[in-house]
Structure 1
Amino acid sequence: MKRNYLVILFFLFSTILIAQSQDQIMKYRSEPYGDKTYRKKGIMDGNLIRTIFRNDGQVGTWPDRPSGEWPAGSDHHYLDGVTPIFTSAVIAPMNKQLIHPVAASYREEVDFDPVTNDLWVNEPVPGYAAANSEEPAISGKKLTWPEVWPKVLPNIDNTWDGFWFGYFGRGIINSDYETFYVMDDSKDKEFTRAPYGYFPVASDQNRGGLGYRVEVRGFQWSHVLAEDIIFWHYDIINLADADYDTTFFGFYCDTGVGGVNDNGDDNASYDIIRDIAYAFDKDGKAPPDNWKTGYVGYAFLESPGDGFNGIDDDLDGLTDERRDDGIDNDGDWLTFTDLNGNGKWDPEDNEPLNNDVGKDGVGPFDLQYAGPDQGEGDGIPTAGEPNFDATDKDESDQIGLTSLVIERLSNKGPNSVWPKNDEVVWRKMNYNSFDTLLQNSNIQMLFGSGPFPIKQYRRERFSMALLFGSDLEDLIFNKETVQQIYNANYNFAKPPLKATLTAIASDKKVFLYWDDISEQSVDPFLGYKKDFEGYLIYRSTEPQFTDIKLITDSKGEPKYWKPIAQFDLKNGIKGPDPVGINGAHFWRGSDTGLQHSYVDTTVTNGIRYYYAIVAYDQGDPMFGTKGLLPSETTKIISEDLVGNIKFVDINCAVVIPNAPVAGYIPPEIVGETTSVKEGVGTGSINISALNPAQIQENATYKILFRSGGEVPNYKTTSYAIVRNLNGVTDTIEARIDSADIGLGKFSPPFDGLAVEVNNDKKVVVDLEKTGWVKGFSNVIVEVMPDASSPIRNVAWPSNYEITWVPEADRPLTPFTKIKVPFKVMNTTRGDIVQAEVLDNNKDKQFGIGDDIVIIEYVGNAYKLTWKITYQDPGGNWGPPVVGDIFRITTKKPFMKGDYFEFSTKSAKVDSKLASDVMSNIAVVPNPYISAAGWEKRNFGQTGRGERRLDFIHLPAVCTIRIYTVTGALVKTLSKNSGPENGSLTWDLVTEDGMDIAYGIYIYHVDAPGVGEYIGKFAIIK
């Protein structure tokens, strides 16, 4: 019955689909041709793999670096280049010869025009990246996106502009790092000329090649299970007039296990069951230092389908699945859940949409959701929705790995598999062509899938995973993760949203603060579960954080990074994650509670630090058969080979703390911070000077509190920061919620300051401020909450004074009617309150052994608040006399109207003081012995690499002249900085651009208006 239903649907939609395909193809043909002027280069660095990629299909490129670097930051390289190859059989119109044009792009050994030298290769199509960007479009770098996505793309309109062009919809990013570009083979004019005369589009004499247009995506996940994998996904559209009945897709690869200096002993093999080819180093060692090499693999995930050959190529029980027939071939698309059974989607009843989210792929749980769109909640599969046609990997009768050939790289003749040799490439990619005899050499590999047809106007999909492992076992383990992600339609456990981090460095201190957007995250992979758990703060001296990946598994493989601080929800989810990976368990926290700021006081001036605030989720120990590990957000900082910062993600920061200049007078904060200027709250504030240069002169600030509820059960809800500067009053922060009040929780920075509010949330007796304040009585008096009546008892947030009075003024207690020798005043309000005596010895009078209970009222209901015991001190005792006072002080939350007030004076530089401390000027390190610990490692370059020393405690403005001991001028350095930076770095290069020689050097510091100083330093080999 289901098959009949599918057949009926096929005939209903086929005519419409053909018309739509033709219209779409005309749009594609109208695009500008691919051209070398649009080439861009980026770096994939969203997990432990870091590699150059280009928008013409190439991944990695010898000898540039990083090229298949794993792990990122190690300078260990495995790849000299890999590129996709497409080839089809076609009859040349002029000579009727059967030809097999190859569409590929590579750094060398490709076809080119012998007259113009133009390369006959795949080239990028313009419009899919920002015109002024050097990189292709990357999901986490909005400046690389085009302002307007080309509207030739199917199912998009103007609402997509400003959002990522996601594989699964508008702004939908399932991976942690994604890139997208488009290329075509229109520049390949080899077979357009005599004696062939083949033009894929007969009416377009400017388009060469086979008429292929390729949409390319790269995906990376930072999850510990997927951190060694890059996914590459190719959508190939046939723009030609003709059907290609016999086609092969595959990859050309130049392995480079061990890097540029160790490429002569590579081996390779394959596993046809797992659809994986892999390479490794024969002796497992590479220079320098004989580091242990691992394995690099290329896993086929989605090979082209053949829905017309009547064969079940992928063994799924179907022989004719297609991803462009408008049918849910495998029946895995899920309509909305009709909870009330009325036959329609009711968003007001929170009915789950499941896959029925409409053509933009966006549902109510996505931040960019703006309301229903076409096809949303209609119960019918719509192009663009998950698990249907283009977004369902199962709707294709996939063929898999069918060929792999290994050859010596040095073979560049006419019979080699270099991309220039079209007919050889075709022959070697033929079905069941496996030749892996050559080993232990500098090798190249060609592997592919086919044959299959790609009909006119059809779209085929092809994807592979570039993956790494410490050995073959680890590589196979990673392939299992690859398969899991692929089987889930390129979905995997999604970490929380990234917080935005701000870092401010000062003298031996770095202040960090971040927002709370991560806490609103939901994970589509887990059914839109809200699973945020906490924050980790990572600090490293390397941009890839390699030096802090210290937590290993039972095999000694590093799996997790060690944070300097961690804050997690107080929800009972704590300790080691029960799932684990090979014996390594993620630490989920200690139920510390969340905070959004942190002060790192363990830094050293002059060193560059890389910080990341990483949000993580709870994982799911009950997921599947093995459970799901917690996921962390990525932390991406990119530098070029000489250490220049190229990109810092929003949850990362790079800072260098430094000491201030000579003669520096720090800013001053004037005001009481241990008690409110007005109000009842008993907490305190701490004020941190984060950026002295921004601290205002003669500004006055109020920290003004709000509360909810009535006395005695009120709670502090928030505070505001108000500033008066030059007679103008304005609100700096309108509302900082109670969740961000507490030890270690700072306000957002303002005017170079941050406030930490310590609130006494619970009403308790302040024992240090409670006791006799007048008189000489030694009666032992203790104060505690009364516990005689749960309904009546309350810890009242007031201070009191018990004063002994003359007999004529003695009041009666309200219930026992005992005349007592004291009165009780609520000093917080300024009124007399009632007190009851517990006549414990039943003598009808107040005395030793009795208790006092203070009474307060809520409306007409009395409350029993504080109990005061009256105890014999033993021996000679001195009872209180008229005029003696016992004071009770309580700790109380801040109440509405409470405020602190303080003022600031800005930082200054005193020239006389600077002159007095000129002798503090120094050079570090001194002596400079071969290298300094803070210098950057030399990756991907020849030569010495970075060298630097620092002059410290300098005046703000000065000139430094460096001489040899014979008086020859070596270098002149100038400094003109703000008062916060008293250092100056020298790269040990002379005025002539030469590295300085070893020896003793003299330096002279000349600071106009301050003074001069002469010192010396040594450079030791």
Structure 2
Amino acid sequence: MNKNLKKLFFVLLTLLFTLTIFARPAYIDPKMTSGRVFDQRILDINQINTYITNFAIFAQDVYSGNNSGLYWPAGFPQETYVFGAGVWVGGIIENDDGTADTTMSCGYYPNSASTEFVPGDINDASPDRPTPYNNPWDIVYISTSDNYGQPWPLKTTSGADSVVSMQDSYTEFNDMDLSYRLVPSSIPLEIEVKQTTYAWVGPLKEDIIFLKYDIQNKRSDKKDIKKCYVGIGADNDIGNEAQDAANDLLGFIDTMTVDYAGVKDTLMQINVGYQFQLESEAGWTHFPGIVAYKYLESPKATEPIDLYHDGSFIIPAGERIGMTTFNYFTIQTDPSDHIKRYLVLAGYDHTRYNPNDPEASYRPFPNWEIGVPGFPGKTEDPTAAGDKRFAMASGPFTLMYDSTATVIIGIIISKNSAEMLDKMLLAQQIYDQGWLGPVAPGQVNFDVVGMDKKVVIYWDNAQELIPDKYYSLVSDTTLPIYNPAYREYDIEGYNIYKSRTGAGGTWELLAQYDKINEYTILLKDSLIYYNAAAARYETTYYYDTVGSNTGIPYYFVDSNLTNGIQYYYTIRAYDVNFNGYAVTPSNDTIGTIPLVLEGAGKTKAAVPRSLTSNIIAGTYDLNLVSGNIDTSLIDIEIIHALDTLVEKVKNDTFTLTFGLAERSSVDTTLPAYPYTITNKNGDTVIQDIMDLDTLWVNNEKIIVLPIEKYNPYSGFIFKINDFKLDTSGWTNKDNSTFKVSVQSGLYDSSILKVENIDAARLFYHNSKEYIITWHEVVYPTFTVVGTDTFLPNDTNLTVTIYDVDNNIDIPYSNRVLGDNWHFNYSTTAATPEQCPRYLKESSAATAKVGLYFSGMKISFNYTTRPNAIVWESRPKDGDTWVVKVTPNDSNFVMTYPPINSQYKFTVTPATFAEVTESTLDNIKVVPNPYVVRSELDLDYNYRRILFTNLPDKCTIRIYTLSGDLIATINHDVEISITKDNKTTTAYDLTKGYAEWDVLTKNDQIPAPGIYIYHVQTPNGETKIGKFAIIK
């Protein structure tokens, strides 16, 4: 709501923004005013929606007439909590004559809603800028926006976009414009401020916004800023605070005993100031919450600080200062000049400051007691309710010339004080653990290759192998944000985009790919909806399920393109996770509140072009090395992938190895076969799993969906077109006899019984013989190994099981059914917790009944039904049992799944054939005739004529009809690149064209007419033709 006394800055902006502030869209376009780009935008990713600017003011809607600009929850813009706020920085400049100037730069002055900062950095007039203070990139950048076509300014060391949260923002401003000084006689500090914000969604954290200020001393006289204080000045109006409606109260928390990071009763410096009220607001759906500001990072003390000026609390030099001031005032007592505002930052009551007795007014923190029961720390008495402002600061310290001080503050809104405490601790934990929160995937590695009238796009799966950092936080059962449904590896698919220019707003979606698993969703759109039960607006997602579970081919062909035209592409990974979880009546944990995030993407350009006329494509050969797989049932294809490489593909030999069966993520009753591809050095180039999808009951064949995986920098795509398991060649209880015998030891073979389990047969190794060896494990003292507990001198039995046919050991796992072993005879009623690795006399009866392994089970004591093992005659260390499987039909032909099978294949790179006369027959000039402003011209001053269908190397000479040589073009697919003082050879193996810029060797535009071209190869082959230029 407007306040009558908050008009001065609006009057100023009205003059600046005349003819520009009407009919503004949701995101304000940057406007050029007084030679500056004044930009205002809104942060809206989570429940706190707030305006920010590039001139230091935040939480105020400046463009609408200085209205309150921070509301909560999302969808309730009338429920506002902040009228305006901004960074405050004060300090003392020592003059050469021994005097000193006390000054302060104010990011938001409540009484006039004004600022002393202007957009951009101090060097805004440097030579690399187009016009001083007229730069289109001095805007507010938001990571979820196209930023008016400007690239994201923050980069990692590798050059990728640096985005920390689900919605970052970034802007820069400085205090050097003297016309913006609130007190004309005051001098600027000459500082440059880089402001960054972070925000996440999800329980608790969706009600927090983080502000980071990097404040740099850029003084032209290179002097230090002494006794410097940095902080926030805020006018937090909860609803209507005008006149009689003013009813806000303040509170602050210095230290508090809390349970933090798993440690109980921790005395913790909280550093929080907050504002609340005890009355409802007219027209609000919700009862007003609490708005809190928490210091998370402050500058370090440059010398010891006597916080209370009495020696009772000293902050040592080198330590973080923390919040040293929580000062407050009202609309009637706003600090009216830079000296009074500096006093506020320094902890003095400016309304009664006496320079002859300054300590009498020193009040770094209010002297309140517990004014309102139930609110933490100290608060005002309810009788003091009114229109409040406060400043919280950190200092004093010396901000040396060219050094930077960092302040990080979290703004937190909560329904009540208990929730506020949880959110404060979560904000601290997110900061302490390096900004851990849900974040979009990183940039995808990809390449684009221009081919004839098409572009081929290849990408890798590196992002899929990176765990979500936030998992380490939400998997902690001691934290209030514990979420067992949160996925550690959550990349779900990829979106491919295309643009003719690469500019913002020009991108179109080419393709979407979704992994084959239980998550069959592609994010299409989202909607803010009203949750009546929670009395708040929340985000729900609509999902496009068309083409879901498509699988990921890792390459895409964009066809029907025009040769010679440049196209831009980007690939963005997206993930699927869950912000909440629920427990079903059957005690299963399921994810709720789906969270889908799309990452940023690199941009790469490609030009479709004619191919080199003498290229010979790369080849491969594939051979089975070992294993029992029926090779007629698997169709593997190796595709020579990258025809254009930074480094030429070298001959390499790769090994493909299948692992033990796991459960298919598509259908958990079916198996999946992991596989690894390594190069000749043993390095892994592909590691993935082949999920079986369909069981054909009639002929007992399982078919895998076509899958394609690749590592482009190894030069191939590995593709399984078809995969079948012919289970008709597998033994089962109907076509074979199963027998177990005791080879050594005293256990009675006659009470043993072995069975084949139909439900588990897909995980069956299908071996004719298994050897079970028993082992005793005894520890002299109480011992814990992993999840297993061993009592002193207690006998524990375990086994190893060797699959003779497949030459492997079957691994232990507590999966009830799978390609593994465990103790427990039941394969229907058992749970993983009832499937141990060790047997002892005190083991549960279910575990002592029998042994499961790879689709079979043995009862230890079978009479009329399975009974527990006879412990007195139990197997001893080294005893062996043998299980034999004999087909009833002597003509039965056994087939095998691919476990432990290996292939080898060699990739041979592309080469070039010797050029002959016929190789040059198809050389053409495009366009012919050439007309000025052809579609191939990049702009009016950059004309292009293409020579197409060229061999890998040749020289093109262009002549007039009179025989004058006007241009020479040397075409070669092999070029040298110098990087970091090193020269390497690069290849563009399919570049069968060359460009002419339509300039003579003297940089003149040739006259209209007919021209002759002559193409010559190194081996002497030639081609002569002609083309025309028309104006």
TM-score relative to the length of structure 2: 0.44
The structure richer in strand per residue is 2
TM-score relative to the length of structure 1: 0.44
